[in-house]
Structure 1
Amino acid sequence: MIKVEIGKCVGCGACEQVCPSDAIKVVDKKAVVNDNCVHCVTCIKYCKPGALSEDAVSENTLLCRNCGVKCRIPEGKQGACKRFRNENGELVLVRPLQIPINTAAAPEKIAIMKPIVSAVGAGAAYPDYKPAPYIVTEKRDDFDVVTVVTEAPVSYSSMMVKIDTNAHIGDEGALVRRNGRVVGIVTTEQYGSHILILGGVNKVKGPDGMYVVKTMAELGNKEKVTLTVDKGCTLELQVGEHPVINGVVDDKMRVGCGGACCGLFARSLAPLIDEAIILDHHITGLFTKHPAGAEQKPYSGVTPVGRLATNGRYFFEHGDGWGGTNIKDPIEAIKDIDMNIAKPGMKILVAETTWRKIALFEVSAEGRPVPVEIPAELEAFRKMAAGCCEDSRVSAMYYAGVGGSARAGVTVDPIQITKAVHRGDATLTIAGAPTYLMPGGGITFLADVEKMIVHPFNYTASPAVLAPIEYTMTVENYKKIKGHVQAMRTKEDVIKEGRFEFTELKD
């Protein structure tokens, strides 16, 4: 259970708001802990007055080892994650395993997966009430299939750019600029990567709109673009290539966060060191406190700088130091060595999660870390771990909302194509690339630019991105949505025009 020091409790309610087990309530302006408590200590982390502390754990609880939180679950109660329950002293899963039964793909869906022709080079038929420039039919197995294509100006255009790097490129929300003009923002980090969102209708229609659409089109065409982040880095980005950050090529991304590295390399690392601090801007790992490392070696007495998350995992500050943290000299990662636990001669490894840089320290008789040479066996391990890193790349998803007047080139009843796409009766592709359709109204999607036909984008002075849009469906369904069936042509007829090139679509 969690202990409440009544004199310090101010009744702010933070503990009640963050408790995942509904185990703490504010009653008469004081926190009260009930028997739902699983000792996850979330409330302690968020109690600014320091009124909460760990107390003795009841013998009637069951220790869950399925994650680093290590809940102590009372009889009949669930852990903080709501996945495991204590039933008569046994840890059981709360929900049965779910096994899909509808896994067979319908032949019709396979027939309409890919377009007959792409919209790259198709042009447009403006004004949009005219049929799209190419409405092309083909026999596929037992189905008559039609693809409707146009290169449409899309102002609701965005580019989601993923940059594989451990470097801190800039704070979330920071503005991204090209030639000083705002073209996007930094958003959330992902596993070993940073994400930019470029464009969006408000930037496209703004004073820097031409810079915005030009940037998106060039990135989508896999051309090199130089961007700057406010109070952050200069980025040279080209889809499919390594990112260049402040003039330095970043060719490898991390194996995993610092905590993950403790788990991945626990058995290999344990014979080589007494402790390891694996630096990462997200989660830094302390080996002997991490569950995987703790199974291999006893706690060393070492405490890293940073803020404790769960056992063996620490949050560090962003920076341009080791592992994307603010640690410039690896010795700075060691906050304290408790000589009541530690022994002189112990070896402490400090490493980055890319394993490009490591440092080794020996604990002196006075309890200080002293730099020592890296032995051959530890260097061999470093090379092995570094070999587990993937190549860093820049990738991009075209992220847009289509529809508008261009739907009139598909059907005389525009809502019908929107409904057909959401029902799955029509497949939307962009330059031949599959799309992920977002739920809800309209046609909002994401598509991988690397799966598109080469050089898929242009831009116009509206300003807008010219996007190659394809709708593929059976002829039967095209008739049902009131499509321009009178404008349909066969693929053979299109080929007779002589204005075409054969190309391969990427899977």
Structure 2
Amino acid sequence: KGEVVGHVTTAEYGSQMLSLGGVHHLTGGSKKEGRLTLELMQLLGNKKPAECIIDGGASIVIQAGRAPIVNGVEEQRMRVGCGSAAVGIFARQFAGVADEVVVVDDHITGVLTQHQAGRCLDMAPSGIEMRGRKSTPGRYFQVANPGNGWGGTDIDDPLSIIEGWEEGVARPGLRLLMTSTTGEHAQWYVLDDQLQPVEQPMPAEVRRIVDRIGENCEPSLCTVLFLGGAGGSLRAGVSENPVLLTRAIKKALVNVTCGGAPAYVWPGGGITVMVDVMRMPDNSFGTVPTPAIVAPIEFSMRLDDYAALGGHTASVFPLEQALSRGAWQDDGAPLARQWQQIDAANPWPLAQPPMLG
């Protein structure tokens, strides 16, 4: 809708990371920017789909627990690793059935016979000469531009990243496999008398290895992590001396959860937490007109530890009373209360210490 709501950060093994929302977009720009940022954060936190357009890039639909949709195409596989990693993982299986294997990848393309894995298997050099920028032996950067083709590059013809073959090393009949890091693209070649790769039917034993590459790729998945801080008024609602709450958490006396889900507490000052929204109850996130996002957070501890950190012990009463009468004596029973099954992976909050950074 024309407003900036975040930015692209880094990538790890093909998983692209986005930073979306945050105070600079909520309150540091126009009123429309803040409103749309808040809408996006609430949608993502509540496990709903949200569409964004990357400047100069793709249109993406993000939804926690679902595969990303990029330019209208739903992604299927997360790659097993970069091209170098794939070579290392499957080198022993390739040896004996192929004379050279190139795993095409937009990050690091791997070449088996030059790679340390191929050398450890005493594989003979193939004489292949690659495009791109050579890193360590058997590893190449920038063989092509990023795109929707082979291995996340913009190429449709894998032979386009081969510059040539070294005479006296390459030989007619050499067997070459080119595959992507997910196994979704793969072709089999044999060098002719002019040292030109000629596509041939892929042998069954090679196809099994390519299929195994695909088998080792996990399904594509969007992970939404909520990052937020416990504000001053919130901490004052726990203790008359809020800094004691912060110190008790850092001493592992108080566990921190968000909707019952384990929360990672960032190092440094204050109480800044990060949590996987898939482990939180549905519709956990709300908003206030500030604009600001509102998320559940719980501090669990022993009663004597609560008293020691200056807690409001005069306001402590049993859970049964809160469920029947409300948070305060004259509130009445909560009318919108819902019972939800907790995530089986979430431990009871008092059964473990906080996840401290």
Return the offset for 1:304.
1.7
- Cross-structure match for 2:213: 385
Question: Which has more radius of gyration?
Answer: 1
1:255 aligns with 2:92: no
Q: Which structure 2 residues correspond to residues 322-471 of structure 1 after superposition, within 5 A? A: 322-471=150-299
- Cross-structure match for 1:505: 342
- In the alignment, structure 1 segments of 5+ residues that lack a partner are 1-178
Q: Which structure 2 residues correspond to residues 150-299 of structure 1 after superposition, within 5 A? A: 179-205=1-27, 206-207=29-30, 208-296=33-121, 297-299=123-125
Return the offset for 1:414.
2.0
Task: Find the aligned partners of 1:278 and 1:303 in 2 and give their Cα distance.
Answer: 14
Question: What letter matches 2:320 in structure 1?
Answer: E
Question: What letter matches 1:331 in structure 2?
Answer: L
Task: Find the aligned partners of 2:6 and 2:231 in 1 and give their Cα distance.
Answer: 23
- Cross-structure match for 1:121: none
1:311 aligns with 2:133: no
Question: What letter matches 2:77 in structure 1?
Answer: K
Task: Find the aligned partners of 1:392 and 1:252 in 2 and give their Cα distance.
Answer: 5
Tell me the SS of whatever aligns to 1:251.
Answer: coil
Question: What letter matches 1:239 in structure 2?
Answer: A
- Structure 1, 220-229 or 289-298: larger mean CA deviation: 289-298
Aligned residues: 329
Question: What letter matches 2:76 in structure 1?
Answer: D
- Is 1:187–1:197's contact at 8 Å kept on the other side of the alignment? yes
- Is 2:82–2:107's contact at 8 Å kept on the other side of the alignment? yes
Q: Which whole-Å deviations, capped at 9, do the CAs of 1:333-352 have from their partners, x for residues lacking one? A: 21221121010111211110
Task: Find the aligned partners of 1:331 and 1:371 in 2 and give their Cα distance.
Answer: 10
Task: Find the aligned partners of 2:311 and 2:340 in 1 and give their Cα distance.
Answer: 27
Q: Which structure 2 residues correspond to residues 77-116 of structure 1 after superposition, within 5 A? A: none
Return the offset for 1:490.
0.3
Task: Find the aligned partners of 2:209 and 2:241 in 1 and give their Cα distance.
Answer: 64
- Is 2:179–2:210's contact at 8 Å kept on the other side of the alignment? no
Task: Find the aligned partners of 2:323 and 2:307 in 1 and give their Cα distance.
Answer: 24
Tell me the SS of whatever aligns to 2:159.
Answer: helix
- Is 1:345–1:363's contact at 8 Å kept on the other side of the alignment? yes
- Is 2:229–2:273's contact at 8 Å kept on the other side of the alignment? yes
Task: Find the aligned partners of 1:326 and 1:339 in 2 and give their Cα distance.
Answer: 29
Q: Which whole-Å deviations, capped at 9, do the CAs of 1:260-281 have from their partners, x for residues lacking one? A: 1111111211222111110112
Tell me the SS of whatever aligns to 1:181.
Answer: coil
Return the offset for 1:380.
2.6
Tell me the SS of whatever aligns to 1:211.
Answer: helix
- Is 2:100–2:175's contact at 8 Å kept on the other side of the alignment? yes
What is the aligned-residue RMSD (CA, Å)?
1.5
Task: Find the aligned partners of 1:371 and 1:230 in 2 and give their Cα distance.
Answer: 39
**What TM-score, normalized to structure 1?**
0.63
Task: Find the aligned partners of 1:204 and 1:417 in 2 and give their Cα distance.
Answer: 28
Question: What letter matches 2:339 in structure 1?
Answer: F
The structure 2 residue matched to 1:489, chosen from 317, 324, 341, is 317
Question: What letter matches 1:192 in structure 2?
Answer: G
Task: From the two aligned structures, give the one with the greater strand fraction.
Answer: 1
Return the offset for 1:403.
2.2
Question: What letter matches 1:240 in structure 2?
Answer: G
Return the offset for 1:431.
1.2
Task: Find the aligned partners of 1:464 and 1:195 in 2 and give their Cα distance.
Answer: 23
Q: Which whole-Å deviations, capped at 9, do the CAs of 1:305-341 have from their partners, x for residues lacking one? A: 1111111111124421211123331111212211210
Task: Find the aligned partners of 1:405 and 1:332 in 2 and give their Cα distance.
Answer: 61
Q: Which whole-Å deviations, capped at 9, do the CAs of 1:131-184 have from their partners, x for residues lacking one? A: xxxxxxxxxxxxxxxxxxxxxxxxxxxxxxxxxxxxxxxxxxxxxxxx221111
Tell me the SS of whatever aligns to 1:299.
Answer: coil
Quick one: percent identity of the two aligned structures?
37
Tell me the SS of whatever aligns to 1:310.
Answer: coil
Return the offset for 1:405.
2.0
Return the offset for 1:379.
2.1
Tell me the SS of whatever aligns to 2:263.
Answer: strand
